[in-house]
């Protein structure tokens, strides 16, 4: 995972309950419309009528997302967003007036995840809210990792690390490692590896030997006394977790 989310942010997908949205707007009529629509769309909606209240509510209830009006008396949307960002990573959707280009840019700078320009339809807002939540969930979802013996392989990012430290492998080394990690403890014959990793049905098995050696050099503490990628004499190699 690349980005660390701040403490306390609930991830909607993880919970069975509906995603909770906090709407902060000084126009009660608008907020009411928005809230009703969002509720019908399956969100649990809370409401605050000004910036200070909204901030406090957000920090205490930790909603899944905050809909934030930009122009408010007292503490405006900018300020709320900024303070919110200090403590949490809760996604924010800004409501801005049409054509406030500068405000939009500044809003992005402050870490708003999306913006909707007034006038907007509740349907549009709901769509944006859903999209942002989807993105946030995807971002928080950890990448599937192959692990074993202090080695981690992120097959999505195509990245390898050993005790947290990044390791650069060549294609063949990578394929070999993945092969071993998907079947830890299993002994692979050289011919088998040649078939699986190289796609050869016949060939010089010393090729495997050399690549295993190179792989050991990168992921073992002591390549001449391997503890994970061990030799099975007369057969081939095996990964010890």
Partner DNA sequence: TCCGAGACTTTCGCATACCGTAAGAATCGT
Partner DNA sequence: ACGATTCTTACGGTATGCGAAAGTCTCGGA
Q: Is 236 in the site for DNA (CB under 7 A)?
A: yes
Between 4 and 16, whose beta carbon lies closer to a copy of itself?
4
CA distances from 6 to 47, 85, 140, 148, 200 (A): 23, 9, 11, 28, 49
Q: What is the CA radius of gyration of the chain?
A: 26
**Based on CB atoms, which residue is closest to DNA, 39 or 213?**
213
Nearer to DNA, 83 or 172 (CB): 172
The site partner of 108 among DNA, a copy of itself, none (C-beta below 5 to 8 Å per kind) is a copy of itself
* Residues within window 164-183 making contact with DNA, judged by CB under 7 A: 168, 170-173
C-alpha 144/C-alpha 71 separation (Å) is: 42
Beta-carbon contacts of 85 under 8 Å, excluding residues fewer than 6 positions away, are: 110, 111
Question: Within 13 Å of residue 115, how many CA atoms lie on the same side as its CB?
Answer: 25
* Nearest to a copy of itself of 73, 119 (CB atom): 119
Instruction: Give CA torsion, residues 134, 137, 143, 149, to 10 deg.
Output: -170
Return the residue of 211, 219, 228, 239 that touches DNA, per CB under 7 A.
211
Q: Could you identify the residue written with the tokens 């660390």?
A: 4
Backbone angles phi, psi at 16, to 5 degrees: -75, -25
- C-beta separation of 24 from 66 below 8 A: yes
Q: Is 71 in the site for DNA (CB under 7 A)?
A: no
Residue in the block written with tokens 């002591």:
222
Only one of the segments 15-23, 105-113, 156-164, 224-232 lies at the binding site for DNA (rule: CB under 7 A); that segment is: 224-232
**What is the nearest approach in angstroms of DNA to the Cβ of residue 193?**
11
**Contact residues for a copy of itself, defined by CB under 8 A:** 1-3, 29, 32-33, 36-37, 89, 91, 101, 105, 108-109, 111-115, 119-124, 127-128, 131-132, 135, 139, 143-145, 147, 152, 156-159, 161, 164, 170-171, 174, 184-187, 232-235, 238, 240-241
The CA distance from 208 to 237, in Å, is 10
Residue 198's binding partner out of a copy of itself, DNA, none, with CB under 5 to 8 Å set by partner kind: DNA
Shorter beta-carbon distance to DNA: residue 117 or 207: 207
Point out which residues bind DNA (CB under 7 A).
168, 170-173, 190, 198, 203-207, 209-213, 216, 223-224, 231-236
């Amino acid at each position: 995972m690349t980005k660390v989310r701040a403490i306390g942010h609930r991830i909607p997908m993880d919970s069975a309950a509906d995603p909770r949205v906090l709407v902060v707007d000084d126009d009660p009529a608008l907020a009411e419309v928005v809230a009703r629509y969002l509720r019908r769309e399956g969100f649990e909606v809370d409401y605050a009528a000004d910036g200070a209240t909204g901030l406090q509510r957000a920090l205490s209830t930790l909603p899944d997302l905050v809909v934030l009006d930009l122009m408010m008396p007292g503490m405006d949307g900018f300020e709320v967003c900024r303070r919110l960002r200090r403590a949490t990573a809760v996604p924010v959707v800004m409501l801005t007036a049409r054509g406030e280009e500068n405000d939009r840019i500044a809003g992005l700078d402050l870490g708003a995840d999306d913006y909707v320009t007034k006038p907007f339809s509740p349907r549009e807002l709901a769509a944006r809210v859903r999209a942002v939540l989807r993105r946030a969930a995807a971002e928080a979802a950890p990448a599937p990792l192959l692990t074993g013996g202090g080695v981690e392989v992120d097959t999505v990012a195509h990245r390898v690390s050993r005790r947290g430290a990044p390791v650069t492998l060549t294609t063949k080394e990578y394929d070999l490692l993945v092969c071993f990690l998907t079947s830890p403890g299993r002994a692979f014959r050289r011919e088998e590896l040649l078939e699986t990793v190289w796609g050869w049905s016949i060939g010089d098995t010393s090729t495997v030997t050399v690549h295993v050696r190179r792989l050991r050099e990168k992921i073992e503490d002591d390549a001449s006394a391997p503890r994970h990628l061990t030799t099975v004499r007369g057969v081939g190699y095996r990964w010890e977790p």
